Structures are given as C-alpha cells and as structure tokens.
Structure 1
Amino acid sequence: AGGMPTRQRPIYALGLRLMAMLALSVMLLLVKLTGEHGIGLPETLFWRQFLPGIALLGWLAARGEIGRLYTKRPLIHARRALIGGLGMFLTLGVVQILPLAEATVLGFTAPIFAVLLAVVLLGEKVGLWRWTAVALGLIGIVIIAGPDRAHLPFSGLATGIGAAFMVALISIQLRDLGRTEEPVSIVFWFSAFCAPPMALFMLWTGLPHHDAAGWAMLGGIGATGLAAQLLMTAALRYGSVSSVIVMDYSQFGWATLWGWLVFAHVPPAQTWIGAPAIIAAGLIIAWREQVRGSAAGSRPPAA
C-alpha cells in the first residue's frame, strides 16, 4: 500500500502542516492542564496512544479496509515505536516542567540534531551553511537558558533538548518507513506498540477516578494528537520536508498565545532573543536540504 506516487501540491501541503501545528499546540496545552489536574504522565501517554489507535481501527473496519494496516516490516514499526514512545514521554513531559513557549522553542532544535545524526548515522558531508546553522541554534539555546535558573530549570532544559534529539532520530526512521507504508499504517502501529507498555506503567501510578473535566482533557489529547499525526504525515505526501517545515515554527506563536491566555505567562526577553536564532537555524537547514534535493541529479553540495 502507498506505492503509487503522489502528485506534489506544495500550497496544500503547507496548509496541512499549519493545521497540524495548531492541533499539536492544543494537545500540548491539554497535556499541561492534565498535569495541573493531577493526572499522571503515563496515563496521559496511554490515552494519547490508545484513543487514536482505536479510532483508526474502527474507521478502517467500518470502511472494510483493515487490510491497509498489513505490513511486512513489523520490527521496523516496533523500533520506531520504542524510540517514538521515549520521544513522546520527553515531549509531553517538558510541557509539564516549562512554560509552553519555552518548551516549544526547545523542540525547534530537532533540525540541528538531525544534521548531527546525518553525519554520525548516514555519513553525510556537511558544509559551511549547515555547520553555521548548528552553531546559531546552539547560541540560541544558550541565550534562552540564560543565567536565571528559576526561569528555565536544568531538568526542563535537559528534557526539552532530549525530546528534540529523539524527534530528529524518529525523522530518520519515518523517512525509511514512508517509502513502503501508508500514513494510516504508520500512525496505527505506533499506537498499537506504545499503548500496552503505557498501560503497564499505570499499575504503578494508579488510575484515579477523574471528573468530567479530566476525561474531557484526556479525550482531547487523543483527538488532537491523532489529528496532528495524520495531518503531518499527509503533508509529507504532498510536499517535501524541507518545503513544509517552515510551518512548524508557527507553533511558537500558538504556544505563546495559549500560555498568555490560559496561564498568564509572557516569555521573558531572553526567549524572544534566543527563539529567532533557533528558528533561523532551522530555516537555514531546511533551505540547504531543498538546495541539496534539487541538486540530487548532479553532485549534491556538502552544505
């Protein structure tokens, strides 16, 4: 399944990616609210995975298309779920430690780690432009971290950077899986492999009886998480990573807005100075990826 080439529709792909970022920002807002509501992170992770998996299964069963979930690469899906599950634990965990805007900006360091991983794992040659972007991104992190540990505790900083590293690692895996698997299959197997271990974690954390608000938040996390995954994966069917990734930075705007409206948090000056450096680094890397992609027929530049 998914072997047929898809016609590229760059503007449509940008729109899909923008909607994915809105859904993702709402999901992270709800994750932060569940933490304040006393709901344990393992339980939040379980419902985040279980609800989308069940929803997809029901949708495909109703259409008589369960066969679309068939895969010849179950071990690759399992490996992606192991790395993705750890990445999600860090990604959702950091928003419970840090303000939404700061947690989101740290996530933008993923392209920097993707460059470093491409060197280490894929043996890619990286030239001046991308090394400059890596340095610029690291400077941005240092500015945001700043001397004020009360604003950005080390645990939050480490969790956010760890989450970004895992996202970069997952992106390399998804590039491989996307060659043979449909988006719906990738999303389903991620849920199927991740939900059972999360259910076991709940034996330790307990499953408290939530009020209606708590269940509404958990349901919302499942729904917005599924929407974000499907929209992001679909965007990559109609446009390249380097062309749609610019929309990812809109998430900083949403996170800042939710942080202000819901938590009355306005990021300090150091965040507003460091964030553009990190975003610029990501855009330079995306631009170079596009240049290298268009030069693939000839000799790709090591930049």
Structure 2
Amino acid sequence: MNACIKLGEVHGAKLGELLFFRQAGAAVLVTAVIASGPGLASIRTQRIGAHIRRAVVGLTGMVFVFSAIMTLPLAEATTLSFSTPIFATILGAIVLGEPTGWRRWAAVLTGFVGVVIVARPGGHALPPIGIAYGLIAAVTTATVFILLRQIGRTERAQTTVWWFSVLSLVPLSIVYAMTAQAHDATGWAILAATGLFGGAAQLAMTASLRYGSVSLVVPMDYSSLLWATVLGWWLFGTLPGDTTWIGAPIIVASGLYIVWREHLRRREITEAAISPE
C-alpha cells in the first residue's frame, strides 16, 4: 500500500485522492467480509460517539502517515512508524494509568535515541518536514491504540474497522470532490490498488490479532522494513541511508522489548487472577 501511495504521487495523484481511495477500498472489503460472516446486523453500535472520536483521530493520523510516505523514502518512513509503541507506552501511562516500570521507560529512551539517529539532526539527507510528518503520525497512531483499547471492551474488531472506514468517507468525499482529476489507466489502477491493499492489510491485521497474541503479532510488523527496502530499491531506486541502518535496529529492539514486557505484565495479571488464594 505504501509503495502504491508513492507511485500514485509519481503519477500525479493528490493526497486527498489517495486517502479517499484507501478508505473506499477498505469500506468495500470490510463490508463484504462482515456480510459473508457475522452479518451486517453486527455493525450496530451504542457507542457512535466513541467511533466518531476514533475516526477523527485515525483520519488525522492517516493524513500524516501518507504525507510522511510521500515526503520520505519508503524505508525511512517505515522506520519512523516503528516508534509508535514508544509513544503508546507514554500515552498508556498518562491516559490509562498503566503501570510502567523503569525497564520500559529505559526502552522508551533507547527508542528515542534510535529516532534521533534516523532523523540525523543537522544533516540534510532527509527533509525535516518529512521527519515531522512521520513522528506526528506515530503519536496519532499511538493515540488510536489507546482509543481502540477502550472501544474494544464492548465492540467487535470488524465493527470498529467498518465504522472507521465509513465515517471517514464523509469528509474524504468532500475532499475528493475538490481534488479529483483525470488519470490515465495506470493512475486509476494505482489508486484502486491503494484501496485494495490498504483494506486487505487492515483485515489481515484484525485477523492476526484474533488468532495470535499481540506479543506474537507485533514483531511480524517489523518485517515491513524489509519489504519497504526492497520496494524502495526496485520501484524508486533508493536504499536506506547509513544512519537508518544504525537507528532502525535500535528502534525495533526498543519496540520489541516494550511488547515483551507488556506480554509478561499481562501474563502475571492473568496468573494472579486464576491462582487460588
């Protein structure tokens, strides 16, 4: 999907168009999956306000995610997205009051060191605005994680995905009407592929969390750096900079440690709850 976003930009697609097709593709796929599974009645909700808040924050985050991808090389944009668990840890401690020991705080600081290395302060290889887009995207995505933890207490994952896709199409339809333009066959194909790949990825992520634990699923996400590197070289002739090769492993290690500590904490809570007094 990220490669399609950059290809779309190369073929003249604007940010509003890419966002609209991304969400339209997701809405179509998610609706089809729900209709063939639990049925459309499962999208009923008593928490429309929570879904609206999630849509506002999620769409804001998506704007910055797409902007970072369009501004930075694929590998660097992907690497900055790996800082999301770092910000999620901070927000979890502040907003949800989750216990966060010194080990996870040390992992957070280590992760920020990796971000600084990738950002190359004082260097000129990466545009500062692109770095800003990537970090704001990570913060807003972490905020979405916090909202999803609260919504997930009462809502099915597919229901949440459906409401996000459909609600975000309301403002995006207005944006698309203002930015829509003619494209050649390749341009239309890229826009359609952006939506289909984005929707498929969202469904796959939802399914992965249903069949596997977070501690198992999240590390798989880091393999996206491999694909971003390969696609960046193949399609755009770019490879990660020297500092990215240094900073990326630090950020990944920080994120993996945070996930592992969270897994241990939840296992301890579960064992304490089921153990006899």
Q: TM-score range by the shorter chain?
A: over 0.9
Task: Return the letter of the residue paired with 1:184.
Answer: Q
Q: Secondary structure at the match of 1:246?
A: helix
- 1:129 equivalenced with 2:103 (yes/no): yes
CA 155–296 in structure 1, closer or farther in 2 if over 3 Å, else same: same
Tell me how far 1:202 sits from its aligned partner: 2.7
User: Are 1:236 and 2:206 an aligned pair?
Assistant: no
Q: Match of 1:121, as an amino acid? A: V
Kindly state the Cα deviation for residue 182 of structure 1 after the two structures are TM-superposed: 2.5
Matched, 1:225 2:198: yes
Q: What is the alpha-carbon distance in structure 1 between the residues aligned to residue 35 and residue 117 of structure 2?
A: 51
**TM (normalized to structure 2)?**
0.93
Cα offset for 1:177? 2.3
Cα distance in 2 for residues equivalent to 1:278 and 1:94: 18
Query: Per-residue deviation at 1:66?
Result: 1.8
- Give the match for residue 184 of structure 2: 211
Q: Distance in 2 between matches of 1:133 and 1:46?
A: 36
- In structure 2, how many angstroms separate the alpha carbons of the residues matched to 1:192 and 1:93? 22
Instruction: For 1:67, give the aligned amino acid.
Output: A
Asked if the contact 1:183/1:230 (under 8 Å) is kept, the reply is no
Within the alignment, does 1:80 sit opposite 2:54 as a pair? yes
Residue aligning to 2:91: 117
Matched, 1:264 2:237: yes
In structure 1, the gaps of 5 or more residues are 1-26
For 1:277 and 1:261, locate their aligned partners in 2 and report how far apart those are by CA, in whole Å: 26
Query: What runs of 5+ residues in structure 2 fail to find an aligned partner?
Result: none
Q: Which amino acid aligns with 1:189?
A: W
SS in 2 for 1:296: helix
Asked if the contact 1:109–1:282 (Cα under 8 Å) also holds between the matched residues in 2, the reply is: yes
> Are residues 1:184 and 2:158 paired?
yes
Q: Distance in 2 between matches of 1:202 and 1:182?
A: 30
1:151 Cα deviation from its structure 2 partner: 1.6
Write out per-residue CA displacement over residues 106-153 of structure 1, whole angstroms, 9 at most, x where no aligned residue. 000000001110121012232121011111111101111114643211
Aligned to 1:46: 20
| Equivalent position amino acid for 1:284 in 2 | Y
Q: Tell me, what secondary structure is at the counterpart of 1:266? A: coil
Query: Using the alignment, how far apart are the partners of 2:116 and 2:191 within structure 1?
Result: 34
Paired positions, count: 272
CA distance in 1, matches of 2:21, 2:31: 15
Deviations 1:42-79 (A, max 9, x none): 11101111222134335555779221211121111111
**Is this contact kept in 1: 2:3–2:231, CA < 8 A?**
yes
> For residue 280 of structure 1, what is the aligned residue in structure 2?
253
Does residue 291 (structure 1) correspond to residue 264 (structure 2)? The answer is: yes
CA deviations over 1:216-255 (Å, ceiling 9, x no partner): 1111111111111111111111222222111110000000
Task: Show the counterpart of 1:165.
Answer: 139
Q: Percent identity?
A: 44
**Corresponding letter in the other structure for 1:75:** G
RMSD of aligned alpha carbons:
1.7
Give TM-score scaled by structure 1 length: 0.85
Q: 3-state DSSP class of the match of 2:265?
A: helix
Change (3 A) 1:148 1:295: same
